[in-house]
Structure 1
Amino acid sequence: MPVLDGSFEAFVTNLGKYNEGELVGEWVHFPTTEEEMKKVFERIGIGSKDEFGQVYEEWFITDYDCSIHGVSNLLGEYENLDKLNYLAARLDEMSRSELEHFVAIMDSGCDEVNDLDDLINLTYNLDNYDFIPDIKDYDDLGRYYFFEGGYNIDNKFGSFVDYIDFERYGEDCAINEGGTLTDAGYIRPTGDSWNRYFDGTLEDIPDEYRVTGSGEELEQPSTITVLVVEPDRKPYVKEIPSSLESLQHEVGGDIEAVYPFEEPVAIVCNEEGKMNGLPLNRALRDDSGEIYDIVAGTFLVTGLTDDSFGSLSPDLLRQFMTEFKMPEQFAKIGDRIVAIPMISEEQQKQTVLEEKSSIVNENTSGMAVDGHIGTWHTIDHKEIDGHTFWLMEHDTFGDDASCIIVDERGELVLSHIYDGFDETAVNLLRQEVMPVEKMPDDSISIEEMKQYGYKWGGMLPMREEAAAEVMKSCQIYRLYGDDTEGLVLDAKEIKEHAAKGGIFGVEKADWVAELEKQNPLKAAEMSLEDDYGMIDGIINNGPKEDKANEKGGKTSIMDRLKSAKTAQQTDKLSPHKEKKSEREI
């Protein structure tokens, strides 16, 4: 049975050094102390300056090592160190029986736990799950309930006990209770409501668990990285002092901040830009694409901290450089203001060159990919049903990291690739480009699903109502914004996931098969073709694909991509540990 053996660790990495192509970090054993964390920061260069005098201030987590099933999978690259220490300390304070209880809950696939905050709250809610240790199978469970439940007081059943199907009885009990057999024992929910002891805010972390400061206000960084957007020019990145005077200097007067985007960014502009007749710069648009305001004069796009302006992350820099890429001029047509892209003949030529260079080829390197840190280069490609897919390897880590697959435009299609274009990957890619005559839900598109964060186009997205209907004939999945999914087992899960803003999916292959069943003429044609190779003149009565084998025991797309990797553990770059752990880039 897996237990916590003191190996709750995270590889804390200097983000600035990483962006320069150098992995500088250290394995940190949690729980730790504020003093020890300061020493780690000093050793990995947090607080030191680069060759241009800029201070390395940011860090992220490259890898985790935790022996409790499922914990590492819920932890991201930018988790708060105080929260991690809080969780590790709570686990460290548990008795062995409490820890076994926690392990069993996690091993059962607890639906209540989706992130670090939930893990912390689970440590306070063990009583919401009954735990019976040493139950290895349904026969054990059936005997436990029969004998411990008082059914055989004074051996009243006598020799008839030998004729009882305890395995069947135990399985029925588990189904009725919603219980699960785990390596640690049997776990079942009590049905009690969770106590949200921890509200998820940093202020709610007890001081004794803090390792980045005991709640005192942190010193603001001296400089911030912003995007400068000037009229008639493409935007550019600039490092500026974080002072009010610096912001005023950049926009040419008193500043005004507006927050038109869902992302944690601000547009900092000249408060009197329009009144002073500054040139119109860029339009702001609503969800339908209609212009509702125009920014006058130079403005900045900045990140946001808890109480001030901050640096833009690399992902946000790329996003808003694209958002404001094209300079605009404005005209009034009737009662509407329209924006006209300003592009000269020379700019048109340059744009064509940039678009061509963005198409992936066998020589592509240094390419940034949405959702993955670092840059990538091409190592292989494959043509599938008229589409080209490219296998990309990480520029920094090479064989020490899993590969990814992108399409011709460089858009991410599959992550966690260990064996190149193997049979599993090819099957998934074939579904990616498989045409469908009819979507299961016209209210949501595959593009919207990918913007939501689920990248595999072999899944067709649905909202709650359509999911409930499709579930009657097909397997459906809960889709998550971190590019993972989980099989829906009952209608209750649909309502719960939808209530959290989640969407659902059905695999293209399953949906196409269902459409064919609903079309008796097409089904009849396919049946005849299988037998006689006729109707459309194409002989296709060869061996049929074993759909059952293709589905297998699949519970997630990532599981299928990782299935061939179980025999060998790939060594990873972790300079301060002998034990190497898998890194997912």
Structure 2
Amino acid sequence: MKENEKKGISLYIANLGKYNEGVLQGGWVDLPVTQEELDGFMAEKVGLCLDAEEASKRAAAGERVYEEYAIHDFDKSGLLKSLGMSPGEYDSLDDWNRLAVIAASEEFDPEVVRGWISSSCSPGAGDDPIAVASVILQHDEIPYRTLERPYEGASDMVSLVHTMVQGSEAEAKIQGLDETSFGGHHLSNYFDMESFGEALAKDVEMLSGGFIDPHADGPDPDFYDRNEICEIAEERMAAPAASKSCEGQRAGAPAKAASSPAADAKRAAASAAARTPQATPTHDMRKER
């Protein structure tokens, strides 16, 4: 198996029926792939019958038919490594492919996405491909700030203080420490900026070069439901190939897409009114294998 690209996902898919019979059949798949490629892989490599009508006919004729699969291994590289995700054995392969499609078509910082999910979302969201895809689609709404260093060599904690107090009443008072002296002593020499930064850091999610405010408004992992993620992924998978492939995108993967009609409509509606809890979907979606 080749090493997957930085935004790809490599999974080992096994034929669950044969596995339970003591036979190992399956293979590695590098996501994202088109639906046609995925169906071909599941039929030819994993040995599944994907057509319900055909499976029924073959079963009626006494033939052993296999329709179930399991994720028996994954390569902790690429998107799984950068987002800190671990697929479950019985997760939907279609959902992981949709995540890979959306990740390949968005420019985002995985560390920032991971930081927001771990600090502000419910437990379990970090390993849910639909929830993570939803956050990636809203990545520009994450309340992330880059550390601004007041002088060369300033530590992260000192820089955190400098960045967080900007525009506040405290900013002028802290700056005044350098300008205030008594008995020949500058007050700034007796104020522990490092300790103050460490205290402030307890209320934020520190990242390399910046921080997230977990108490501020930001992406909701439930903002897009599975049907909407499916629609957006299908739109991006069907997008015309770009003149130049995206960095880290393998042949057959979706072209770079800055947005999609489904995502645009969803976010436009959200900007016009307050978000409301997602209703339980009532329309059918593509049948999960």
TM-score normalised by length of structure 1: 0.30
Q: Is the 8 A contact 1:8 1:30 kept in 2?
A: yes
- The one-letter amino acid paired with 1:11 is Y
Q: Which residue of 2 aligns with 1:145?
A: 164
> 5 Å matches for 1:108-119?
108-112=118-122, 114-115=124-125, 116=128, 117-119=130-132
Q: Structure 1 residues 26 and 9, CA, compared in 2 at 3 Å: closer, same or farther?
A: same
Cα distance between partner residues in 2 of 1:20 and 1:71: 30
Q: Is the 8 A contact 2:205 2:214 kept in 1?
A: no
Cα distance between partner residues in 2 of 1:11 and 1:109: 30
Q: Is the 8 A contact 1:16 1:56 kept in 2?
A: yes
Structure 2 residue 182 is matched with structure 1 residue 172: no
Q: Give the superposed CA RMSD.
A: 3.8
1:61 positional shift: 0.9
**SS state at 2:121 partner:** coil
Cα deviation digits, residues 420-471 of structure 1 (max 9, x gap): xxxxxxxxxxxxxxxxxxxxxxxxxxxxxxxxxxxxxxxxxxxxxxxxxxxx
Cα deviation digits, residues 299-334 of structure 1 (max 9, x gap): xxxxxxx8xxxxxxxxxxxxxxxxxxxxxxxxxxxx
Cα distance between partner residues in 1 of 2:197 and 2:119: 20
**SS state at 1:186 partner:** strand
**SS state at 2:45 partner:** helix
Cα deviation digits, residues 351-404 of structure 1 (max 9, x gap): xxxxxxxxxxxxxxxxxxxxxxxxxxxxxxxxxxxxxxxxxxxxxxxxxxxxxx
Cα deviation digits, residues 463-515 of structure 1 (max 9, x gap): xxxxxxxxxxxxxxxxxxxxxxxxxxxxxxxxxxxxxxxxxxxxxxxxxxxxx
Cα distance between partner residues in 2 of 1:119 and 1:207: 14
Cα distance between partner residues in 2 of 1:12 and 1:47: 14
Q: Which residue of 1 aligns with 2:234?
A: 209
Larger Rg belongs to = 1
Q: Which residue of 2 aligns with 1:197?
A: 223
Q: Is the 8 A contact 2:25 2:46 kept in 1?
A: yes
Q: Which residue of 2 aligns with 1:29?
A: 30
Structure 2 residue 104 is matched with structure 1 residue 103: no
Cα distance between partner residues in 2 of 1:26 and 1:134: 44
- The one-letter amino acid paired with 1:151 is E
Cα deviation digits, residues 130-173 of structure 1 (max 9, x gap): 223468743331233346768259x6543644443222222332
Cα deviation digits, residues 68-115 of structure 1 (max 9, x gap): 34321xx3222222221222222222224x434213324x44433524
Q: Is the 8 A contact 1:14 1:56 kept in 2?
A: yes
**SS state at 2:213 partner:** strand
- The one-letter amino acid paired with 1:142 is V
Q: Is the 8 A contact 2:120 2:214 kept in 1?
A: no
Q: Is the 8 A contact 2:16 2:68 kept in 1?
A: yes
Q: Structure 1 residues 206 and 23, CA, compared in 2 at 3 Å: closer, same or farther?
A: same
Q: Is the 8 A contact 2:115 2:205 kept in 1?
A: no
Q: Which residue of 1 aligns with 2:181?
A: none
Greater fraction strand: 1
Q: Is the 8 A contact 1:113 1:119 kept in 2?
A: no
1:67 positional shift: 0.7
**SS state at 2:115 partner:** helix
Cα distance between partner residues in 1 of 2:176 and 2:228: 60
- The one-letter amino acid paired with 1:102 is V
> 5 Å matches for 1:223-242?
none
- The one-letter amino acid paired with 1:99 is P
Q: Which residue of 1 aligns with 2:45?
A: 43
**SS state at 1:123 partner:** helix
**SS state at 2:14 partner:** strand
Q: Is the 8 A contact 2:9 2:100 kept in 1?
A: yes
Cα distance between partner residues in 1 of 2:133 and 2:7: 17
Q: Structure 1 residues 112 and 160, CA, compared in 2 at 3 Å: closer, same or farther?
A: same
Q: Structure 1 residues 129 and 45, CA, compared in 2 at 3 Å: closer, same or farther?
A: same
Identity over the aligned pairs, expressed in percent?
26
> 5 Å matches for 1:123-138?
123-126=136-139, 129-133=142-146, 137-138=156-157
Greater fraction helix: 2
**SS state at 2:82 partner:** coil
Q: Structure 1 residues 193 and 95, CA, compared in 2 at 3 Å: closer, same or farther?
A: closer
- The one-letter amino acid paired with 2:207 is T
Q: Structure 1 residues 193 and 184, CA, compared in 2 at 3 Å: closer, same or farther?
A: closer
- Between 1 and 2, higher relative CO (CA 8 Å, sep ≥ 6) is seen in 2
Q: Is the 8 A contact 1:15 1:58 kept in 2?
A: yes
1:23 positional shift: 2.7
Q: Which residue of 1 aligns with 2:260?
A: none
1:9 positional shift: 2.0
Aligned length: 202
Q: Match for 1:68 among 82, 104, 119?
A: 82
Q: Is the 8 A contact 1:137 1:181 kept in 2?
A: no
Cα distance between partner residues in 2 of 1:26 and 1:8: 14
Cα distance between partner residues in 1 of 2:228 and 2:201: 41
Q: Which residue of 2 aligns with 1:58?
A: 68
Q: Structure 1 residues 174 and 99, CA, compared in 2 at 3 Å: closer, same or farther?
A: same
- The one-letter amino acid paired with 1:121 is S
- The one-letter amino acid paired with 1:47 is C
> 5 Å matches for 1:344-363?
none
Q: Which residue of 1 aligns with 2:106?
A: 94
Q: Which residue of 2 aligns with 1:79?
A: 91
